[in-house]
Chains A and B, each alone.
Chain A
Amino acid sequence: NAGVTQTPKFQVLKTGQSMTLQCAQDMNHEYMSWYRQDPGMGLRLIHYSVGAGITDQGEVPNGYNVSRSTTEDFPLRLLSAAPSQTSVYFCASSYRGSGRGIKETQYFGPGTRLLVL
């Protein structure tokens, strides 16, 4: 199993550009989430999905869109990049856990480091 994969690893954007951060998992997890990590701010939830076709907003959703057409993929779209979106982005997945062990444990991808100029 590859676990959670993210592409690209690094990206530089100009203000106003759009892009999609890719995330895929091969563990058949129901839940997938996007976090951003900024110095001193910990991990903040952007959007999450509890299954294919279902998404919802987290703590800091503004400027980002998501969709979940399959169980495996959960892309994050930056609509019009701003310098405030310079951050490290982590995708994570978890399984529902009922009767299958530890609940809500997040499996993180390696991250995408984004710089917006």
Chain B
Amino acid sequence: GQQVMQIPQYQHVQEGEDFTTYCNSSTTLSNIQWYKQRPGGHPVFLIQLVKSGEVKKQKRLTFQFGEAKKNSSLHITATQTTDVGTYFCAGPVSLLYGGSQGNLIFGKGTKLSVKP
């Protein structure tokens, strides 16, 4: 079936180091979304990428969508303790796999910890 895979599962960094998480889909996606979940919190939408090769930036966060629209990455420059949390990527569930408009399939997330 349709899968969205994220690596790494965990990442421990020293404050000020960079961080990258990668997302790979088994199917071509019409868009990919990124969410952040703080410890004890709920997932919060960060960004959506739609175009092949698209790159978007939010302050120290850089998001990329691959040319084939099957992979994506999130890069954080100079991590801060406020970046701690789990980062999820998600894409629409394909109708070929029984999905319905509005459904998302989530990766398992990358848990980021930052040592001050």
Chain A bound to chain B: yes
**Interface bits A30-66 vs B (CB < 8 Å: 1, else 0):** 1101000000111101001010000010100000000
**Interface bits A57-87 vs B (CB < 8 Å: 1, else 0):** 0100000000000000000000000000000
Is B108 a contact of A108 with CB atoms below 8 Å? no
Does B52 lie at the interface of the complex (its beta carbon under 8 Å from any beta carbon of A)? no
Is A40 a contact of B108 with CB atoms below 8 Å? yes
On whether A94 and B44 interact (CB within 8 A), knowing A42-B108, A105-B33, the answer reads no
The contact size tier of chain A is 20 to 34
Rounded to whole angstroms, the CA-CA distance of A56 and B100 in the bound complex is 9
Distance (whole angstroms) from the CB of A90 to the closest CB of chain B: 6
The contact size tier of chain B is 20 to 34
On whether A104 and B43 interact (CB within 8 A), knowing A42-B108, A45-B103, A48-B100, the answer reads no
Rounded to whole angstroms, the CA-CA distance of A103 and B92 in the bound complex is 9
Rounded to whole angstroms, the CA-CA distance of A41 and B109 in the bound complex is 9
Rounded to whole angstroms, the CA-CA distance of A4 and B55 in the bound complex is 30
Does B22 lie at the interface of the complex (its beta carbon under 8 Å from any beta carbon of A)? no
In the complex, residue of chain A having the shortest beta-carbon distance to the beta carbon of B43: A108
Contacts of A58 in B (CB 8 A): 103
CB proximity to A under 8 Å, residues B41-77: 41-45, 48
Could you pull out 18 A-B pairs where Cβ atoms are within 8 angstroms? A30-B102, A42-B109, A45-B105, A48-B102, A48-B103, A56-B100, A58-B103, A90-B42, A96-B101, A102-B48, A103-B48, A104-B102, A104-B103, A104-B104, A106-B45, A106-B104, A108-B42, A109-B42
